A and B are shown apart, each in its own frame.
Chain A
């Protein structure tokens, strides 16, 4: 029934605000640009905003809710991206849906989507309650997003424990919102500190980038552009590694310590 090759990837973090939805949107676009048929599934029914980030809010007619109820076909609910026809969004239903949605429903809808797509990215809600468990039910592998903060790492650890007990694997790690300068001066948890605790293979490092905020507000994920910003390059690399390409990881705390970088930083420093 389901194409064996489709990958159902849960994107989760436990803590809110670490960049699950941003990663989902950017990864979706990046995978689509690499030629993979990709669907992003918003499992954050309570506070949906994946559609906002992709700039597709005004194109939504039907949602997963109607598909499950049988009042429309899946094709009607899937929203194709404007610039990337390889990418489609399955919007979440209204927040009331949380009350009756069961893990089986989630599994069913993911399987339906998987028939037509190579990658199904599931954007999990924050927390570890019902909504997260529903999202987890549909996934066969996971990407855990965390930031180099103690609280985010702790929550990620809890989530990894839950994923392990549900048999979701492989689980890979994306370290988001890394500030190389703070890491170099040891004001922030180092990459090693995080991977030490979580003991997961690192799929990518994304540096803190103001452009992310701009792109979120515009509804155009960074990976849609020509990859000028550091975060956009990082997201694209995550997508390429996910496809099995061997892209070397760069530790940002060891990067940019040459003379040119130092002069560059000096010039960025505001004198006034």
Chain B
């Protein structure tokens, strides 16, 4: 990490054509993100070194950035001929905001963007939980490194993808992708599971057509390469070890649902 501890830092691209990085410091003091960026850009200009990169990815860390802030930031950068292309943030709301502004998003570190999806090993990081308060509406796309808990509904047209589990305290009616980095043990749990489409690791399934029994939380998990729906066990999934006996259909009666198979009946 470069010397300047308190301000934002501009780093040149790692290879020609790649975006440069704009690193925000840890949150402290009362300067806004915009001011820090302005100062960093001034500094980069004054040093007279390499010209500013044409594309910048913002590494925002914990900074909460709304649509307005991001747009203002993009404008400031635009005024200097720099285009903001991506935002890496640890804060899921910032990522949703960034996606709404039309920027690429990735979770915390710059490694995510630099490495690309091929290189990341399927490393289950279920324990890292990020929280989304409020309903995800059509067009929103929430991405999380570890597991994600949505307090609210996921409406039709919205997407949630997580490296770990997807947990929805509400109705899941959009698209959910658990284990999007290849973790086949990830699962999707919702108070009402009525998705348009489910994905776990590499498997894809359409949601059931008929409506589920009321008041029954359900989970989807991957069994023998196909996605299956079961009533959700009354266990917080983040504490469950992968080889727990409750996994992989030890419970009787769960049914697979591929394209358009009927939904399992309520279990006794």
Are B67 and A161 in touch, CB under 8 angstroms? no
Known: A157-B139, A166-B68, A167-B68. 13 other contacts (CB 8 A): A157-B156, A158-B137, A158-B157, A161-B100, A161-B138, A161-B139, A161-B140, A164-B134, A165-B67, A197-B153, A197-B155, A197-B173, A199-B135
Interface residues on A, range: 10 to 19
Are A154 and B156 in touch, CB under 8 angstroms? yes
Are A161 and B68 in touch, CB under 8 angstroms? no
Are B157 and A154 in touch, CB under 8 angstroms? yes
Say yes or no for B212: interface residue by CB 8 A criterion: no
User: Could you list which residues of chain A lie within 8 angstroms of chain B, going by C-beta atoms?
Assistant: 154-155, 157-158, 160-162, 164-167, 197, 199
Name A164's contact: one of B68, B137, B153, B157 (CB within 8 Å): B137
Cα(A197)–Cα(B152), bound, Å = 11
* Residues of the B chain whose Cβ atoms lie less than 8 Å from the Cβ of A199: 135, 153
Q: B157 to chain A: closest CB distance in Å? A: 5
User: Could you list which residues of chain B lie within 8 angstroms of chain A, going by C-beta atoms?
Assistant: 66-68, 96-97, 100, 134-140, 153, 155-157, 173
* Residues of the B chain whose Cβ atoms lie less than 8 Å from the Cβ of A165: 66-67, 96-97, 100
* Residues of the A chain whose Cβ atoms lie less than 8 Å from the Cβ of B140: 161
Main DSSP-derived SS at the B contact region: loop
Of A161, A166, A167, A197, chain B has the most CB atoms within 10 Å of the CB of A161
Contacts A158-B138, A164-B137 given; does A197 touch B156 at CB 8 Å:
yes
Q: A90 to chain B: closest CB distance in Å? A: 26
Task: Identify 27 residue pairs between A and B in the complex whose beta-carbon atoms are under 8 Å apart, listed by A's number.
Answer: A154-B156, A154-B157, A157-B138, A157-B139, A157-B156, A157-B157, A158-B138, A158-B139, A158-B157, A161-B100, A161-B136, A161-B137, A161-B138, A161-B139, A161-B140, A162-B100, A164-B134, A164-B137, A165-B67, A165-B97, A166-B67, A166-B68, A197-B153, A197-B155, A197-B156, A197-B173, A199-B135
